[in-house]
Chains A and B, each alone.
Chain A
Amino acid sequence: MHKALVAKLLGGAIVMFAFAVFAMPPLYRLACDVLGIGPQQYSAYEEAAAAVDESRTVKVQFMSTNQGAMPWVFEPAQFEVEVHPGERAEVAYYAKNTTSRDMVAQAIPSVVPISAVDYLHKIECFCFERQPLGAGEETDMKLVFFVDPELPKSVGTLTLSYSVFDITDRVASEVSLN
């Protein structure tokens, strides 16, 4: 007499497990996209450039963080630029692998304030790719972006910050898995 009920309850438990593992991560991603939070833009902005609004100037600031024990030197080449909305800007981050081994890094971007997230468009960014650097190597990494003219009037300054992660081991294990 208990079989049907037990089957239902067990089924419920299995559904909840699947919900956690398979549905919650994509739902979270979706919520972040809709709300404009989290590590926001993963690939190049593809839509046509907008007209330049010369009547307005916004300040874009650059920051860098080394995650955990990441030993590289990683810093913006310039700490801020002033741009007109719609105007393309090209800046660079400097990176140097100060160690004696080859490493791979990944930079993860973040923008504040939240209300500006949807209006900073990256056309080219080192953060779209992994950054391999040999022992002692250094490089300037390119970032091309523009600020959308629709940017809310209340926002005068945008801060773009990158955290750089050491993913050498992760890449190595991927290779060995393949």
Chain B
Amino acid sequence: MAHGPAKGVTRWLFTTNHKDIGTLYLWFSFAMFILGGFFAMVIRAELFEPGMQLVRPEFFNQMTTMHGLVMVFGAIMPSFVGLANWMIPMMIGAPDMALPRMNNLSFWILPPAFLMLASTLFMEAGAPNFGWTFYAPLSTTYAPETVNYFIFAVHIMGASSIMGSINIVATVLNMRAPGMTMMKMPLFVWTWLITAFLLIAVMPVLAGAVTMMLMDINFGTAFFEAAGGGDPVLFQHIFWFFGHPEVYIIILPAFGVISEIIPTFSRKPLFGYASMVYATSAIAFLSFIVWAHHMFLVGMPVSGELYFMYATMLIAVPTGVKVFNWVSTMFRGAISYETPMLFAIAFVILFTLGGFTGLMLAIAPSDIQYHDTYFVVAHFHYVMVAGAVFSMSAAVYYWLPKWTGRMYNEAMGKLHFWISFIGFNITFFPQHFLGLGGMPRRYADYALQFADWNMVSSIGAFIYGASQILFLYNVIATIVAGKKVSEPKTWDGANGLEWSLPTPPPYHTFTTPPDASVIEENSTVAH
């Protein structure tokens, strides 16, 4: 067993090593982040001024669609799978993932899927242009021919996610070192376990939705076509039955990351560990019964509106428990503000803000005003960018020294943080005003009264975009020339089995499970 990695590209093509596969996922997701970010820059450049300047409206629609799809399915989701691959075995004292070969497969089918999706940009019919939520009949009756590539790509992404999730569940349930009981698992492992169950439950529903589209488009069925006895509103129900749990699939692992980082830099164990586990489970359960808050305007009966409104507001309770616990962990802690902690604190503040706008949107009568405006865009970027992406940045800074045995440049990390933080808020805070003022989302142009805040928003977007280049530079500089570090604990306050390993960890770790005493000493749970 004590052999190192193979040489050359075959190492990466045929690897079944969880660290290698984690690295592949992380780099792939970063590449998608850059690609999706490029699309966002096109969008913001066009919206810099009113009127049409740079692109045709048709192409603008392709950009918003591809931006959403690439960011959600290509950047955020795979990045957390990468993190899971790297960290879960090291956190639970397992030698590798449970199903290493399937692990290889679930990664390697992703790049072709996205290549296929991106290739539609160069086809005559153009890329998908019906929004990342691909509502029928826009995505069926009125879709460009390339919709079939999109459907196939979604099938592959779904298969990859399902395989990845099965692997994670099997790893967590079957591979824990003796003594690593469920209620001793680090919270990141817990949140991923729950996320994996969510994925197994709803990715097939997404696959079902696109399969029905495929049938409607190519085989004359009428699931979503009123003319044939179907109903386009059915599509929205199916999509959001997947879609709302999906937003928690995105955010739960981020919760896990933040729950690792805040205790480390507060030098206190996580406050309310058990309540965190229960709150996460409650959020996961509730996420299945609130989907129609995205559909307050489709003509639901009042009873339905009320039900979905109250059920949605209920989610704020377990979410509030989590925020309370993070703040309580910091309370009276010996806090230091290294880059990961800065991102984590920003996460807590900005995610909470996004949660509040979510509550505003959850109020059905108010949502009649807010729906499909930039207010919704502001809401979900606060939870997905300041939530998921910030936590991912935090995770990279937090574990990069462990992974590589080299320290990143702290000053540059902080600079990245501050530029991101300021750029992000300049971009998305004004979008609240635009939305409340009535600017609809997904248009290539806007009325003159929205000109000023749009320009501000675009400037913010360029700043935020640029700061990611700094991030990339810092990571590469660390890997090739960072100051070598070898102490097992990069951070003095860190807990968790991964920090009991040498830095950088050997190719194979925990080939023999750690002692119960090691597990106890390094436990993230308050003793």
Identify which of B141, B226, B230 gathers the most chain A CB atoms within 10 Å of its CB: B226
B375 to chain A minimum Cβ distance, whole angstroms, is: 27
Contact between chains at A9 and B200 (CB < 8 Å): yes
- Interface set of A (CB-CB < 8 Å, partner B): 1-2, 5-6, 9-10, 12-21, 24-25, 28, 32, 35-39, 42, 67-68, 106, 108, 114, 163, 165-167, 170, 173-174, 177
Contact between chains at A9 and B204 (CB < 8 Å): no
Partner of B220, one of A1, A15, A173: A173
- Interface set of B (CB-CB < 8 Å, partner A): 98-99, 141-142, 162, 165-166, 169-170, 173-174, 200-205, 207-209, 211-212, 220, 222-223, 226-231, 233-234, 237-238, 241, 299-301, 303-304
A57 to chain B minimum Cβ distance, whole angstroms, is: 27
Q: Which chain A positions have C-beta within 8 A of B99?
A: 2, 6
Q: How far is the CA of A106 from the CA of B212 in the complex (A)?
A: 21
Tell me how many residue pairs across A and B have CB atoms closer than 8 Å: 104
Contact between chains at A42 and B229 (CB < 8 Å): yes
B287 to chain A minimum Cβ distance, whole angstroms, is: 14
Contact between chains at B220 and A163 (CB < 8 Å): no
Contact between chains at B231 and A17 (CB < 8 Å): no
Nearest B residue to A167 via CB reads B227
Contact between chains at B227 and A17 (CB < 8 Å): no
Q: Which chain B positions have C-beta within 8 A of A1?
A: 174
Q: Is the interface of A mostly helix, strand, loop or mixed?
A: helix
What 5 A-B pairs are tightest by C-beta distance, nearest first? A20-B208, A165-B227, A17-B204, A16-B204, A20-B205
Contact between chains at A19 and B166 (CB < 8 Å): no
Partner of A6, one of B170, B205, B212, B234: B170
Nearest B residue to A1 via CB reads B174
Partner of A21, one of B170, B211, B300: B211
Contact between chains at A21 and B212 (CB < 8 Å): yes
Contact between chains at B234 and A28 (CB < 8 Å): yes
A106 to chain B minimum Cβ distance, whole angstroms, is: 5
Contact between chains at A2 and B98 (CB < 8 Å): yes
Q: Which chain A positions have C-beta within 8 A of B223?
A: 25
Q: How far is the CA of A36 from the CA of B300 in the complex (A)?
A: 10
Contact between chains at B201 and A12 (CB < 8 Å): yes
A169 to chain B minimum Cβ distance, whole angstroms, is: 9
Q: How far is the CA of A42 from the CA of B228 in the complex (A)?
A: 12
Nearest B residue to A42 via CB reads B229
Given contacts A20-B238, A38-B233, contact A14 B204 (CB under 8 A): yes
Q: How far is the CA of A32 from the CA of B299 in the complex (A)?
A: 11
B294 to chain A minimum Cβ distance, whole angstroms, is: 16
